[in-house]
Every structure is written in structure tokens, then in C-alpha cells.
């Protein structure tokens, strides 16, 4: 029996989010510079997106560049931005062919102008596709997002558009950059690090977490299948007890 056949298609996670980590270490192990790892990370992105779409996953969110990543050496930041534009240009046809819609979350205005423009163009061009949404988290951090959302709501209260009593979890969610995206049921992190690193802190309140030692450039379809099979073995109780879930 192949690994893929062990997946129960009826209980697939609707949304999988991934912290793609370990590109630098992957390159270092091969005596290469970090960018080599990022470039090879693109293969893993393609494989994972393909596997997710084939299975019927509806949302795949990838942590591609964090707010904190701006602090990396300038040449690495530039190379990552270049890789982003290059990858979008190269893969846009794959997105069309596979009916995949591109979305992005984060402080997108802080991206270099050409990266921002390319990104927006690809988002517009793929906006009608509905098999799966691939969400790139770019210049994203959860604390930035939560503070940003608080400011938006505070402005609306100030201008009497909403009252303080209207603020609840649903309203707050509706002003996050993920407002059109359901919360992930499964969060995967590669490279053997057991951290969340400021990613989707609000949205992962009830997500299942899966960690693997694989470095991101080595991540393949089978690794995604393993994560999903592991997820499907778990019991999600949302604060209730087992008997309430299984009645
Ligand atoms: C983390 O590895 C990875 C990143 C910060 C960038 C991820 C980017 C890609 C996979 C390529 C581009 C992706 C798209 C969607 C176009 P790290 O550099 O922190 O590795 P380390 O922990 O081993 O140093």
C-alpha cells in the first residue's frame, strides 16, 4: 500500500500552513552559500503545492519571508526578493494549468516595488482559479498583523464606524490579512526546530502542529502525505472531552 493511499480523503485538512525552514543549513551541508538552499527550496514548494492540489487541499500557506527576515544580510534579502519574482514568472503557467489561485498575506507594501507589482499581477491573473489557493506569507509576522488589525479597528471606533461593543473574535478576524482564509487545521514546520516564529499566532489557536527533521529543500510529496496521515490519527477536541467528540 502506498503512503498516499493511507490518507482518508473525507477528513483532509482544508488548510495546511508550512514554516519552510532549513534552506541555509541544507546549503551549508553541501558547502554552498545560503541562496543555493533557497533556490532548491523552490523545488519543494512546487512538489508540495502539486501534492496538496492533487489531494484536494483547499488552502496551502507558505511562510516565505518574515518581517524579521529583513534583518538578514542585504545580499540574502535581495536574492530572496529576486527569487520570488523569478519563481512567480516561471510558475505562473503551472498555476493556470492547475487551476491554482495565488494569494499573499503580510505587509506587502514593504516589498520592493517590482516584487510587489509582479505579485499583484499574478494574484489578479489567477483570481478566478478555484481548485486551491496558494497563500504566500511575505513580509509577514503575526505580531505585526495583530497590531495592524488593532490599529484598523481603533480607527473605525474613533471615526464612529463601529462601537467598542461590536468588537469580538469574529470581527477581529475579519480585519486580519487572513480575513478571506479559514484557519489552518494543520501547521507543519521543517528542519527539526520546535518553534512557531511569529507565524499565524491568532489563526493556529486550534491547529495541529507537526514537526519534521527534514530540511525544506528535501521536502517532497511523501513528506506531506506523512504529515497528513499523522494529523488524521489525532483527535481534535477543541476544549471538549473525547466522549463529546465521538458521540
Ligand atoms: C528558511 O530557511 C527559509 C526562508 C527564509 C525562505 C523560504 C523561501 C523559499 C523556499 C524560496 C522561495 C519561495 C517561494 C514561494 C517563491 P532558513 O534560511 O532560515 O534556513 P536555516 O534555518 O537553515 O538558516
What's the CA gap between 5 and 15, in Å, rounded? Answer: 20
Q: Give this prediction's pTM.
A: 0.95
DSSP letter for each residue of 14-66: SEEEEE---HHHHHHHTT--HHHHHHHHHHHHHHHHHHHHHHT-SEEEEEEEE
In order along its 247 residues, the chain shows pLDDT tens digits of 899 999 999 999 999 999 999 999 999 999 999 999 999 999 999 999 999 999 999 999 999 999 999 999 999 999 999 999 999 999 999 999 999 999 999 999 999 999 999 999 999 999 999 999 999 999 999 999 999 999 999 999 999 999 999 999 999 999 999 999 999 999 999 999 999 999 999 999 999 999 999 999 999 999 999 999 999 999 777 788 778 877 6
Q: Where are the domains of the chain?
A: 10-141+184-232
**Substitution candidate for ligand 1 out of 41, 136, 188, 190 with most atoms within 8 A of CB:** 41
Q: Is 69 a catalytic residue?
A: yes
Task: Just give the CATH number of 10-141+184-232.
Answer: 3.40.1180.10
Q: Which residue, 183, 188, 169, is CA-closest to 229?
A: 188
22 lines ligand 1 (CB under 6 A): yes
Measured from the Cα of 34, ligand 1's closest atom is 18
Question: Is 43 close to ligand 1, i.e. is its CB under 6 Å away?
Answer: no
Amino acid at each position: 500500500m502506498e503512503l498516499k493511499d493511507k490518507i482518508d480523503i473525507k477528513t483532509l485538512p482544508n488548510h495546511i500552513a508550512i514554516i519552510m525552514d532549513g534552506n541555509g543549513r541544507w546549503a551549508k551541508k553541501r558547502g554552498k552559500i545560503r541562496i543555493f538552499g533557497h533556490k532548491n527550496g523552490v523545488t519543494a514548494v512546487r512538489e508540495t503545492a502539486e501534492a496538496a492540489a492533487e489531494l484536494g487541499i483547499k488552502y496551502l500557506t507558505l511562510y516565505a519571508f518574515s518581517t524579521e527576515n529583513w534583518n538578514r544580510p542585504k545580499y540574502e534579502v535581495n536574492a530572496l526578493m529576486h527569487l520570488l519574482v523569478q519563481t512567480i514568472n516561471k510558475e505562473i503557467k503551472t498555476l493556470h494549468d492547475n487551476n491554482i489561485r495565488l494569494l499573499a498575506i503580510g505587509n506587502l507594501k514593504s516589498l520592493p516595488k517590482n516584487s510587489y507589482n509582479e505579485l499583484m499581477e499574478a494574484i489578479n491573473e489567477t483570481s478566478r482559479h478555484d481548485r486551491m489557493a496558494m497563500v504566500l506569507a511575505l513580509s509577514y509576522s503575526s505580531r505585526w498583523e495583530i497590531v495592524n488589525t488593532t490599529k484598523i479597528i481603533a480607527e473605525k471606533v474613533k471615526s464612529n464606524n463601529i462601537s467598542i461593543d461590536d468588537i469580538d473574535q469574529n470581527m477581529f478576524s475579519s480585519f486580519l490579512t487572513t480575513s478571506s482564509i479559514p484557519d489552518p487545521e494543520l501547521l507543519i514546520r521543517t528542519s527539526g526546530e520546535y518553534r512557531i516564529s511569529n507565524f499565524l499566532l491568532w489563526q493556529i489557536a486550534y491547529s495541529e502542529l507537526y514537526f519534521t527533521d527534514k530540511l525544506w529543500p528535501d521536502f517532497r510529496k511523501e513528506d506531506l502525505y506523512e504529515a497528513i496521515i499523522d494529523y488524521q490519527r489525532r483527535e481534535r477536541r477543541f476544549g471538549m472531552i473525547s466522549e463529546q467528540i465521538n458521540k
